[in-house]
A = this chain, B = another copy of it.
Amino acid sequence: MSYAVIFTSLRTEGHDKEYARMAEKMDELAAEQPGYIDQETVRDASGFGVSVSYWKTLGDLKAWKANAEHLLAQQLGRDRWYRWYKVRVCKVEREYGFELQG
């Protein structure tokens, strides 16, 4: 099926504009990569966020992890933007949904 990368994180304080710019840039860049399917990101007012990106293969998500611009963003993330983060690489085994009608 597909793969999901669950990225949960807590922002440090400050660097908001710089962070927002980079986050937007990385979202755009990710969407251009081979095997990219979708991305869902949400962060609340406390700075806690969950971002999930979906990829066709494990190779696709590994290639994105090793992308040069993305590597720089990851480094800046550790240096400045995140108090902590966790990454889970997952295989999507089943998916289903619901949508309100009318």
Q: Provided the pairs A8-B40, A49-B42 are in contact, do residues A92 and B100 lie with their beta carbons within 8 angstroms?
A: no
Q: Which residue of B lies closest to A96 (CB)?
A: B87
Looking at chain A's contact residues, is the secondary structure mostly helix, strand, loop, or mixed? strand
Contact across chains for B87 and A99 when beta carbons are under 8 A apart: no
**Number of chain A interface residues as a range:** 35 or more
Residue numbers of A with Cβ under 8 A of B are 4, 6, 8, 12, 40-45, 48-52, 58, 77-78, 82-100
**Once the chains bind, are A84 and B99 in contact (CB under 8 Å)?**
yes
Closest beta carbon of chain B to A19's beta carbon, Å? 15
CB distance from A64 to the nearest CB of B (A): 14
Q: 6 more A-B contacts (CB under 8 A) besides A4-B90, A50-B51? A: A12-B100, A40-B50, A85-B97, A89-B94, A90-B92, A90-B93
